Structure 1
């Protein structure tokens, strides 16, 4: 017996046709390491502030840029890699890869930019982001 499907005039088959067409090709990069198309982060909060750990394997320390604007944090990274395979004196394949990656997120409270610190070791960026002291509220007497 054949499977029958009821026609629904309100569904559009075109979005399903192109689903995933414009995503980057993950298997075609020359980078032998992990995929950097999305920066993986862990955020922990304490009473004093936030601790952020971001995985950026294979990125040079000078190619990382961290920007803090109130409660918003942005991590930018540039990657430039080149790979060449030789067979004796003859070049068999030469590939170049260059890309920029960014990750932005907003924290629950503002960060004190002047006391923030960053450390990059073994492909992990560690940010220590202390919370900005909130101004004390003043109670007004009603007369």
Structure 2
């Protein structure tokens, strides 16, 4: 049942098709992105995971990354302003404030002390080295 209620789900599409006026959207600008809209790519090499996350339109000061074992949390404070003025008088002002967060789990623990993050052109790139002590060992069955 919860799959039908979520934003952008089947129920929203039904209302949009039946009565387009019922589905209210901002006249200009985009609404707040849903956590699922933080698109990520995860790549793995021998010693680290490389994560690229799309977080467009967010200042790097408003992005928080935390690591707890093998769980990575991304949080971004979203602020969008769209203001139109005419002759010094504000005719319309639309503001969107909020936060989006996404958590995901990696197969191995991360060495948080060696991890680094870089943000360029709306893409957050994380280099997450694997913790050295967490290697698996195959046992011989006797």
RMSD: 2.6
Alignment map for 1:9-48 (pairs within 5 Å)? 19-20=4-5, 23=7, 27-28=25-26, 30-32=28-30, 36-37=33-34, 38-48=37-47
Q: What is the aligned residue count?
A: 119
Cα distance between partner residues in 1 of 2:27 and 2:120: 24
The answer to which of 85-94 and 98-107 deviates more is 85-94
Residue matched to 1:115? 114
Q: Which runs of 5+ in 1 are unaligned?
A: 1-14
Residue matched to 2:101? 102
Alignment map for 1:34-113 (pairs within 5 Å)? 36-37=33-34, 38-113=37-112
Residues 81 and 102 from structure 1, CA distance in 2 versus in 1: closer, same or farther, beyond 3 angstroms? same
Does the aligned pair in 2 maintain the 1:36–1:56 contact within 8 Å? no
Shift of 1:82: 1.7
Aligned-partner SS, 1:31: coil
